[in-house]
Amino acid sequence: MGGKGFDWLRQTGTETLRPFLFTIKGTCGTRSGRGWKGFYPMDNPILVTGGAGFIGSNFILQWLRQETGGVINFDKLTYAGNLRNLASIATDARYQFVHGDIVDRDFVREVLQRHQPSAIVHFAAESHVDRSIHCADDFIRTNIEGTFVMLEEARAYWANLAAAGRERFRFLHVSTDEVYGSLGPGEPGFCETTAYAPNSPYAASKAASDHLVRAYHHTHGLPTLTTNCSNNYGPYQFPEKLIPLTIVNARRGKPLPVYGDGLNVRDWLYVEDHCEAIRAVLSRGKVGETYNIGGDTEKTNLEIVETVCSAMDELKGDAQLFPHKKLVIFVKDRSGHDRRYAMDASKIKRELGWAPRETFESGMRKTISWFLENDEWVREVTSGQYREWMSTHYALEP
Ligand code: NAD
Ligand code: DAU
């Protein structure tokens, strides 16, 4: 039993193949969950990388509600990964957490051999554009090198499967609309054939990973699928991103930073709708293809912030904070800030019958309520390293 992940489990485990509870004390507070001594065999689970992050944890929760198979969650638990997101399924026998780094090739190989997944859904990435502007090293390492390792090891694993397993296996790579660059006003949304023009180090690292995925299908026949999605929002999103940051700061009466003139446009999609789209692509997508996913909900950043402020006003909390809009401050623009993203999601709608269930209004209601009801989660993830990042980045008291 080699590899960092299992060693880590061994330290807190028991001698038999039974579940145990573990507690880790880290910079983001104390985390608890369930682990297994060795590994717990499941029938062809899927392997999810990055499953304790925002979209990955929503995906695992939805998977266990909607599907019958098991899930192995392979995550390094960076500042963005939080096992508390998955506390409600910690005792589900169809779920297992493996702590590891996707760049650790030997360990990735070992995990694939041990768990024999029927598919890999690859979410793990450094995901925050602003961080990639300040320091891109981890983006290159995880997003490019890590995806390369996942592809190489998936290829070796897939090549050795029996015929039925080879036929069934899929490698689904989760990517972003940012690889296409920026749109001018009135230009049609990005479609699957739009030329790549990534502008930030984050977008460039995702574009590189998309190209690697494409090449592994083209050259080696690996059964890949790629999804490129627009901006997500919803529960468990790390409060460095616009929507959760605005909700959390508005509640605490802190400044609501808007970059530049606030007129940059993003196409917003509720996270559960993104997860449903990924499940549709995984089960019915055509091997080697890419699918664009979006919410047909273009909003300027100022519209987003004003929506949150109005909702907070209606909740009638601390009267001193009314109207919350007075907390808005215009700050220095993001370097190389993309002006507008919009997705043409007609292919996935037409071919796979997917459509978002939530409107912007219903999705925002759910999201704001979730953040207001889960202040303990917010407090936990906004401690430690995150506070340092915020104070350096905004030069504000976090
Ligand atoms: P996130 O930052 O919330 O979570 C990333 C997860 O990956 C964390 O759990 C982290 O611990 C893990 N991770 C990071 N480096 C790792 C490594 N080396 N090994 C193993 N695990 C590692 O990200 P998210 O917002 O949930 O995004 C998930 C994926 O979806 C990313 O690939 C991102 O590019 C893509 N995406 C995000 C959005 C969005 O709006 N958030 C939109 C489109 C696509
Ligand atoms: O488009 C998909 C992408 O969406 C994903 O690939 C990324 O992983 C995800 O982080 C997100 O990237 P953005 O840069 O669009 O998201 P962010 O929430 O950081 O910013 C949204 C917009 O709001 C952007 O125009 C910058 C602006 N902004 C952001 C923050 C954090 C502000 O005006 N103020 C802020 O404090």
What pLDDT, on a 0 to 100 scale, did the predictor assign at position 354?
Answer: 98
pLDDT at 39: 57
Counted domains in the chain:
1
Flag whether 314 is in a domain.
Answer: no
What's the pLDDT at 32? 54
The pLDDT > 90 percentage for the chain reads: 82
* 281 within a domain of the structure (yes/no): yes
The pLDDT assigned to 43 comes to: 80
Sign of the alpha-carbon dihedral angle for 297, 266, 74, 227? positive
Q: Answer whether 296 contacts ligand 1 (Cβ < 6 A).
A: no
Is 230 domain-assigned?
yes
Q: Which atom of ligand 1 is nearest to the CA of 127?
A: 2
Q: Which of 93, 78, 84, 73 is nearest to 128 (CA)?
A: 78
Give the CATH number, domain containing residue 111. Answer: 3.40.50.720
State pTM to two decimals: 0.91
Residues recognised as catalytic? 177-178, 202
Indicate which ligand has the atom closest to the C-alpha of 213: 1
The pLDDT assigned to 231 comes to: 98
Residue 385: the pLDDT is 60
Residues of the chain with pLDDT under 50: 1-20, 22-31, 34-37, 396-398
For residue 327, is it within any domain? no
Q: Are 321 and 250 in contact (CB under 8 A)?
A: yes
| 158 part of a folded domain | yes
Pocket of ligand 2 (CB under 6 A): 127-129, 176-178, 230-231, 241-242, 245, 257-259, 264, 266, 301, 334, 341
Q: What is the pLDDT of residue 151?
A: 99
Q: Return the ligand number nearest the Cα of 50.
A: 1
**For the CA of 293, the nearest atom of ligand 1:** 43
Q: Mind listing the pLDDT tens digit for each residue in 277-286?
A: 999 999 999 9
In a domain, 65, yes or no: yes
- Supply the range of the domain harboring residue 21: 4-235+267-300+338-394
Q: Ligand 2, residues 209, 241, 292, 331: which to mutate, most atoms within 8 A of Cβ?
A: 241
Query: Is 115 within a domain?
Result: yes
| Cα gap 35→7, rounded to integer Å | 12
Q: Does residue 316 belong to any structural domain of this protein? A: no
